[in-house]
Amino acid sequence: MRFALNHIAVPKLGLEEFFALAKRLGIAEVEIRNDLPNVVDHWQPIAVKQLAAKMGVKLLSINALYPFNHWSDELAAKAVKLADFAAAAGADALVMCPLNEGVEIAFNDLVTALRKLKPILDARGIMGYVEPLGFPVSSLRHKSVAIDAIKAAVGDDARKTFKLVHDTFHHHLAGEKDFYPAWTGLVHISGVSEPKVAVTDMLDAHRVLIDRQDRLGNLAQIKSLLAAGYQGAFSFEPFAQEIHALANPEAALRECLGYLRGELNV
């Protein structure tokens, strides 16, 4: 089983410290971001690539192109900028998130956006990882809809350009039952331990490291993905401020890793 680390888990750490932490945890694959922390606007991509090589980590993705399904000239420019950065930094993929503001996006508009993104990604040799968001206000909640749109946009060679991010938090919020291992390029994992918050009210602020109080069924989701043949990385992506404020995040991440490895026998 491959674990990865998203920079959002430790946003107070600089890039070199982040890479070093991953290595100390026995994690060789990482994700960087263009929001918190914003690596894209503060680093040159070749410097990221050189540092990753020096530190012995592999860059899985850049998070994220948003809102990828609401196409405009501004989004096109952003897509080119992020795709250029991802390619030059040596990343495998660009994570792409849908509009999450209570505004519906028509299926045909989603297909159009994917069709326009394909040549941008293909020209740079990187993948586009579509990440449905399970929030009630999201314009793309379900992986099944994303797959249908990708097929409509690209056709038979769809998975050469696009795959999905299976996020355990968003999978639970969307009430999804089906797993799509052949379509999954990356898995984001986080837990919700707060006992009182309703599922419909769960937000990024509730996303912590996975423990025995987890309400999202992470263990069951991970087991289902592995049993179905998924062989990619499981990347820690906790957003909660209580995790970001930890005095010793390394110890907390190490404890979580130990818990998961013990429960999953990996």
* Res 129 pLDDT > 90: yes
Enclosing domain of residue 74: 2-264
Q: How many domains does the chain have?
A: 1
Distance of CA 15 to the CA centre of its chain: 18
Mean pLDDT within 95-101: 98
In angstroms and rounded to an integer, the radius of gyration of the C-alpha atoms of the chain is 17
User: What confidence tens digit (pLDDT) does each residue in 29-78 have?
Assistant: 999 999 999 999 999 999 999 999 999 999 999 999 999 999 999 999 99
Task: Give 3-state DSSP helix, strand, coil % of the chain, rounded to 5.
Answer: 45, 15, 40
We report the CATH number of the domain holding residue 66 as 3.20.20.150
Q: What are the angstrom distances between the C-alpha of 86 and each of 33, 92, 113, 206?
A: 11, 7, 19, 29
User: What confidence tens digit (pLDDT) does each residue in 193-243 have?
Assistant: 999 999 999 999 999 999 999 999 999 999 999 999 999 999 999 999 999
Residue 157's pLDDT is what? 85
Scan for tokens 């690209």, then name that residue. 154
